[in-house]
Protein backbone atom coordinates (compact mmCIF):
# COMPACT_ATOMS: atom_id res chain seq x y z
CA UNK A 1 0.00 0.00 0.00
CA UNK A 2 1.02 3.59 -0.46
CA UNK A 3 2.34 5.69 2.42
CA UNK A 4 0.00 8.36 3.72
CA UNK A 5 0.32 11.58 5.67
CA UNK A 6 -2.01 14.36 6.86
CA UNK A 7 -3.32 16.48 4.02
CA UNK A 8 -2.56 19.77 5.69
CA UNK A 9 -5.03 20.57 8.47
CA UNK A 10 -7.98 18.79 6.82
CA UNK A 11 -7.73 15.76 9.08
CA UNK A 12 -7.47 13.38 6.12
CA UNK A 13 -4.60 10.92 5.82
CA UNK A 14 -4.01 11.19 2.08
CA UNK A 15 -1.84 8.86 0.03
CA UNK A 16 1.38 10.60 -0.97
CA UNK A 17 0.35 9.97 -4.58
CA UNK A 18 -2.90 11.71 -5.55
CA UNK A 19 -4.73 10.50 -8.65
CA UNK A 20 -4.73 13.20 -11.32
CA UNK A 21 -8.14 12.47 -12.81
CA UNK A 22 -7.47 14.62 -15.87
CA UNK A 23 -6.35 11.21 -17.16
CA UNK A 24 -10.01 10.22 -17.48
CA UNK A 25 -11.07 13.24 -19.52
CA UNK A 26 -11.02 11.64 -22.97
CA UNK A 27 -11.52 8.00 -22.00
CA UNK A 28 -14.42 5.71 -22.69
CA UNK A 29 -16.30 4.66 -19.59
CA UNK A 30 -14.89 1.15 -19.91
CA UNK A 31 -11.30 2.42 -19.96
CA UNK A 32 -12.04 4.81 -17.09
CA UNK A 33 -13.42 1.93 -15.02
CA UNK A 34 -10.25 -0.05 -15.68
CA UNK A 35 -8.12 2.92 -14.63
CA UNK A 36 -10.08 3.41 -11.43
CA UNK A 37 -9.53 -0.25 -10.61
CA UNK A 38 -5.77 0.42 -10.81
CA UNK A 39 -6.20 3.51 -8.60
CA UNK A 40 -8.17 1.52 -6.03
CA UNK A 41 -5.86 -1.49 -6.02
CA UNK A 42 -2.82 0.77 -5.82
CA UNK A 43 -3.95 2.34 -2.56
CA UNK A 44 -4.68 5.88 -3.73
CA UNK A 45 -7.29 7.48 -1.48
CA UNK A 46 -7.33 11.01 -2.89
CA UNK A 47 -8.69 12.04 -6.30
CA UNK A 48 -8.11 15.40 -7.98
CA UNK A 49 -10.29 16.39 -10.95
CA UNK A 50 -11.68 19.61 -12.44
CA UNK A 51 -14.73 20.86 -14.30
CA UNK A 52 -12.42 21.68 -17.23
CA UNK A 53 -11.00 18.14 -17.54
CA UNK A 54 -13.25 16.98 -20.35
CA UNK A 55 -15.55 14.16 -19.20
CA UNK A 56 -13.45 13.34 -16.12
CA UNK A 57 -16.17 14.09 -13.58
CA UNK A 58 -18.70 12.03 -15.55
CA UNK A 59 -16.28 9.12 -15.81
CA UNK A 60 -15.70 9.19 -12.05
CA UNK A 61 -19.40 9.01 -11.18
CA UNK A 62 -19.93 5.22 -11.58
CA UNK A 63 -16.90 4.43 -9.42
CA UNK A 64 -17.85 7.02 -6.81
CA UNK A 65 -21.33 5.50 -6.52
CA UNK A 66 -19.85 2.60 -4.56
CA UNK A 67 -16.58 4.07 -3.33
CA UNK A 68 -17.16 7.69 -2.34
CA UNK A 69 -16.40 6.87 1.30
CA UNK A 70 -12.90 5.65 0.40
CA UNK A 71 -11.51 8.87 -1.01
CA UNK A 72 -10.83 12.52 -0.43
CA UNK A 73 -12.49 14.09 -3.50
CA UNK A 74 -11.25 17.35 -4.99
CA UNK A 75 -12.37 19.31 -8.03
CA UNK A 76 -11.75 22.79 -9.45
CA UNK A 77 -13.56 25.76 -10.94
CA UNK A 78 -12.01 28.06 -13.50
CA UNK A 79 -14.59 30.81 -13.00
CA UNK A 80 -13.74 34.01 -11.14
CA UNK A 81 -17.17 35.56 -10.56
CA UNK A 82 -19.09 34.25 -7.58
CA UNK A 83 -22.24 33.27 -9.45
CA UNK A 84 -20.35 31.34 -12.12
CA UNK A 85 -18.06 29.61 -9.64
CA UNK A 86 -21.03 28.54 -7.52
CA UNK A 87 -22.90 27.27 -10.59
CA UNK A 88 -19.86 25.30 -11.75
CA UNK A 89 -19.41 23.70 -8.34
CA UNK A 90 -23.07 22.66 -8.32
CA UNK A 91 -22.70 21.26 -11.85
CA UNK A 92 -19.65 19.26 -10.72
CA UNK A 93 -21.63 17.76 -7.86
CA UNK A 94 -24.35 16.77 -10.32
CA UNK A 95 -21.90 15.23 -12.80
CA UNK A 96 -20.21 13.17 -10.10
CA UNK A 97 -23.55 12.37 -8.42
CA UNK A 98 -22.28 13.43 -4.99
CA UNK A 99 -23.67 15.83 -2.39
CA UNK A 100 -20.31 17.28 -1.37
CA UNK A 101 -16.68 17.45 -2.44
CA UNK A 102 -13.93 17.54 0.12
CA UNK A 103 -11.96 20.25 -1.68
CA UNK A 104 -12.94 22.87 -4.25
CA UNK A 105 -10.01 24.70 -5.84
CA UNK A 106 -9.68 27.89 -7.83
CA UNK A 107 -8.14 26.59 -11.05
CA UNK A 108 -4.97 28.30 -12.33
CA UNK A 109 -5.39 31.58 -10.48
CA UNK A 110 -2.38 33.50 -11.77
CA UNK A 111 -3.43 36.47 -13.93
CA UNK A 112 -3.67 39.68 -11.84
CA UNK A 113 -6.99 40.81 -13.33
CA UNK A 114 -8.55 37.40 -12.69
CA UNK A 115 -7.15 37.47 -9.16
CA UNK A 116 -8.80 40.83 -8.50
CA UNK A 117 -12.15 39.53 -9.75
CA UNK A 118 -11.95 36.35 -7.68
CA UNK A 119 -11.19 38.22 -4.45
CA UNK A 120 -13.58 41.12 -4.99
CA UNK A 121 -16.94 41.26 -3.19
CA UNK A 122 -19.20 38.86 -5.04
CA UNK A 123 -16.22 37.01 -6.46
CA UNK A 124 -15.38 33.33 -6.51
CA UNK A 125 -13.58 33.28 -3.16
CA UNK A 126 -16.57 34.71 -1.32
CA UNK A 127 -18.97 32.37 -3.14
CA UNK A 128 -16.93 29.26 -2.40
CA UNK A 129 -16.61 30.23 1.27
CA UNK A 130 -20.42 30.45 1.37
CA UNK A 131 -20.69 27.07 -0.38
CA UNK A 132 -18.36 25.62 2.26
CA UNK A 133 -20.55 27.04 5.02
CA UNK A 134 -23.56 25.41 3.35
CA UNK A 135 -21.86 22.02 3.17
CA UNK A 136 -21.28 21.74 -0.58
CA UNK A 137 -17.54 21.49 0.05
CA UNK A 138 -15.39 21.08 3.13
CA UNK A 139 -12.19 22.91 2.16
CA UNK A 140 -10.97 25.46 -0.39
CA UNK A 141 -7.70 25.48 -2.31
CA UNK A 142 -5.93 27.29 -5.13
CA UNK A 143 -3.93 25.92 -8.06
CA UNK A 144 -1.71 27.30 -10.78
CA UNK A 145 0.91 26.83 -13.46
CA UNK A 146 3.91 28.69 -14.76
CA UNK A 147 6.84 30.47 -13.17
CA UNK A 148 4.75 33.15 -11.48
CA UNK A 149 2.52 30.81 -9.51
CA UNK A 150 4.49 30.40 -6.24
CA UNK A 151 4.48 34.18 -5.78
CA UNK A 152 0.79 34.36 -6.71
CA UNK A 153 -0.01 31.62 -4.21
CA UNK A 154 1.75 33.67 -1.53
CA UNK A 155 -0.43 36.63 -2.46
CA UNK A 156 -3.53 34.43 -2.35
CA UNK A 157 -2.66 33.05 1.08
CA UNK A 158 -2.20 36.57 2.39
CA UNK A 159 -5.73 37.42 1.24
CA UNK A 160 -7.57 34.21 2.22
CA UNK A 161 -6.89 31.22 4.44
CA UNK A 162 -6.76 28.52 1.76
CA UNK A 163 -6.41 24.89 2.85
CA UNK A 164 -4.21 23.72 -0.03
CA UNK A 165 -2.07 24.90 -2.93
CA UNK A 166 -0.93 23.14 -6.11
CA UNK A 167 2.05 24.05 -8.31
CA UNK A 168 4.63 22.59 -10.74
CA UNK A 169 7.62 21.00 -9.04
CA UNK A 170 10.53 19.08 -10.51
CA UNK A 171 14.33 19.22 -10.50
CA UNK A 172 14.69 21.28 -13.68
CA UNK A 173 12.27 23.95 -12.44
CA UNK A 174 13.92 24.13 -9.03
CA UNK A 175 17.30 24.67 -10.68
CA UNK A 176 16.06 28.20 -11.47
CA UNK A 177 17.10 30.40 -8.51
CA UNK A 178 14.13 32.75 -8.94
CA UNK A 179 11.59 29.93 -8.97
CA UNK A 180 13.29 28.12 -6.09
CA UNK A 181 13.25 31.26 -3.92
CA UNK A 182 9.51 31.76 -4.45
CA UNK A 183 8.82 28.07 -3.84
CA UNK A 184 10.79 28.03 -0.59
CA UNK A 185 8.97 31.13 0.68
CA UNK A 186 5.64 29.51 -0.20
CA UNK A 187 6.55 26.23 1.48
CA UNK A 188 7.61 28.04 4.65
CA UNK A 189 4.25 29.79 4.89
CA UNK A 190 2.36 26.56 4.12
CA UNK A 191 4.26 24.74 6.86
CA UNK A 192 3.48 27.53 9.33
CA UNK A 193 -0.25 27.39 8.53
CA UNK A 194 -0.53 23.63 7.85
CA UNK A 195 -1.58 24.23 4.27
CA UNK A 196 -1.33 21.10 2.10
CA UNK A 197 1.08 21.31 -0.86
CA UNK A 198 0.34 19.35 -4.04
CA UNK A 199 2.79 19.09 -6.92
CA UNK A 200 2.31 18.50 -10.64
CA UNK A 201 4.60 17.80 -13.61
CA UNK A 202 6.96 15.71 -11.50
CA UNK A 203 7.78 13.35 -14.38
CA UNK A 204 7.77 15.92 -17.17
CA UNK A 205 10.43 15.48 -19.86
CA UNK A 206 9.51 18.66 -21.73
CA UNK A 207 7.05 20.23 -24.13
CA UNK A 208 5.83 18.14 -27.02
CA UNK A 209 7.45 18.98 -30.34
CA UNK A 210 4.78 19.37 -32.99
CA UNK A 211 1.13 18.46 -32.52
CA UNK A 212 -0.25 17.00 -29.29
CA UNK A 213 -2.84 15.08 -31.32
CA UNK A 214 -3.18 11.59 -29.92
CA UNK A 215 -1.07 12.37 -26.87
CA UNK A 216 -2.35 11.58 -23.37
CA UNK A 217 -0.74 14.46 -21.46
CA UNK A 218 -0.14 18.16 -22.00
CA UNK A 219 3.60 17.66 -21.76
CA UNK A 220 5.91 14.86 -22.86
CA UNK A 221 6.50 12.63 -19.82
CA UNK A 222 9.41 10.45 -18.88
CA UNK A 223 8.77 6.79 -19.68
CA UNK A 224 11.93 5.11 -18.36
CA UNK A 225 10.97 3.41 -15.05
CA UNK A 226 14.27 4.23 -13.33
CA UNK A 227 14.06 7.90 -14.34
CA UNK A 228 10.43 8.04 -13.21
CA UNK A 229 11.46 6.55 -9.86
CA UNK A 230 14.13 9.21 -9.37
CA UNK A 231 11.72 12.01 -10.32
CA UNK A 232 9.15 10.65 -7.87
CA UNK A 233 11.72 10.41 -5.08
CA UNK A 234 12.84 13.98 -5.79
CA UNK A 235 9.31 15.17 -4.98
CA UNK A 236 8.41 12.83 -2.14
CA UNK A 237 11.83 13.13 -0.54
CA UNK A 238 10.37 16.39 0.75
CA UNK A 239 7.92 15.20 3.45
CA UNK A 240 5.78 18.31 2.96
CA UNK A 241 4.71 17.36 -0.55
CA UNK A 242 2.10 15.29 -2.34
CA UNK A 243 2.55 14.12 -5.93
CA UNK A 244 -0.36 14.35 -8.39
CA UNK A 245 -0.08 11.63 -11.02
CA UNK A 246 0.27 12.31 -14.73
CA UNK A 247 -2.67 12.72 -17.08
CA UNK A 248 -1.12 9.87 -19.07
CA UNK A 249 -2.77 6.92 -17.34
CA UNK A 250 -0.45 4.44 -19.05
CA UNK A 251 2.26 5.68 -16.65
CA UNK A 252 0.14 5.20 -13.53
CA UNK A 253 1.53 1.72 -12.71
CA UNK A 254 5.13 2.94 -12.97
CA UNK A 255 4.43 5.94 -10.74
CA UNK A 256 2.59 3.83 -8.17
CA UNK A 257 5.41 1.30 -8.14
CA UNK A 258 7.91 4.09 -7.58
CA UNK A 259 5.91 5.47 -4.65
CA UNK A 260 5.30 2.07 -3.07
CA UNK A 261 8.87 0.81 -3.44
CA UNK A 262 10.68 3.91 -2.20
CA UNK A 263 9.49 3.65 1.39
CA UNK A 264 12.16 5.97 2.79
CA UNK A 265 12.03 8.34 -0.20
CA UNK A 266 15.77 8.86 -0.17
CA UNK A 267 16.40 11.91 -2.33
CA UNK A 268 18.35 11.18 -5.52
CA UNK A 269 21.59 13.10 -5.83
CA UNK A 270 21.86 16.19 -8.04
CA UNK A 271 24.39 14.27 -10.14
CA UNK A 272 21.87 11.50 -10.80
CA UNK A 273 19.21 14.00 -11.77
CA UNK A 274 21.55 15.98 -14.02
CA UNK A 275 22.54 12.71 -15.69
CA UNK A 276 18.84 12.12 -16.42
CA UNK A 277 18.63 15.59 -17.95
CA UNK A 278 21.46 14.67 -20.33
CA UNK A 279 20.27 11.12 -21.04
CA UNK A 280 16.61 11.87 -21.63
CA UNK A 281 16.83 15.44 -22.90
CA UNK A 282 14.75 16.88 -20.07
CA UNK A 283 13.91 20.57 -20.52
CA UNK A 284 11.85 23.16 -18.68
CA UNK A 285 8.14 23.32 -19.52
CA UNK A 286 8.11 27.08 -19.17
CA UNK A 287 9.89 29.50 -21.47
CA UNK A 288 9.93 32.84 -19.69
CA UNK A 289 6.49 32.63 -18.18
CA UNK A 290 4.58 30.65 -20.78
CA UNK A 291 1.43 29.22 -19.26
CA UNK A 292 -0.93 26.40 -20.03
CA UNK A 293 -4.38 26.23 -18.52
CA UNK A 294 -4.30 22.75 -17.00
Ramachandran category for residue 8: left, alpha or beta (phi over 0 → left; psi -120 to 50 → alpha): left
54 within 8 A of 83, measured Cβ to Cβ:
no
Q: How far is the first Cα of the chain from the last one, in angstroms, to the nearest whole number? A: 29
Residue range 237-286, pLDDT digits in tens: 999 999 999 999 999 999 999 998 866 778 999 999 999 999 999 999 88
Q: Check if the beta carbon of residue 166 is closer than 8 Å to that of residue 143.
A: yes
Which class does domain 4-280 fall in? Answer: alpha beta
Structure pTM? Answer: 0.94
- The confidence score (pLDDT) of residue 294 equals 37
pLDDT at residue 104 tops 90 = yes
pLDDT digits 0-9 by tens, 196-209: 999 999 999 988 88
User: Model confidence at 126, in pLDDT bands (50, 70, 90)?
Assistant: very high
Question: Quick check: 215 pLDDT over 70?
Answer: no
Q: What DSSP letter does each residue of 45-107 carry, written as one string?
A: -EEE--TTSTTHHHHHHHHHHHHGGGSEEEEEE---BHHHHHHHHHHHHHHHT-S-EEEEEET
pLDDT confidence of residue 263: 62
Residue ranges of the alpha helices (H) in the chain?
Answer: 29-42, 56-67, 82-96, 112-119, 124-133, 149-159, 171-174, 177-193, 225-236, 252-261, 270-280
Neighbours of 180 (CB within 10 A): 13
Amino acid sequence: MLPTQPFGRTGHQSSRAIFGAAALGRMTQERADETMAVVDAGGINHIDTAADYGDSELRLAPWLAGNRHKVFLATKTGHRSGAEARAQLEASLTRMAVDQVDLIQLHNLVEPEEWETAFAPGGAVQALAKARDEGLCRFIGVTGHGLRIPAMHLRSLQAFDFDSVLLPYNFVLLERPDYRADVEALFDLCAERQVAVQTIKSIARGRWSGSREGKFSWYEPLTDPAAIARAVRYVLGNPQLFLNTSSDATLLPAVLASVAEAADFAMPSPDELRADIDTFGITSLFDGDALERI
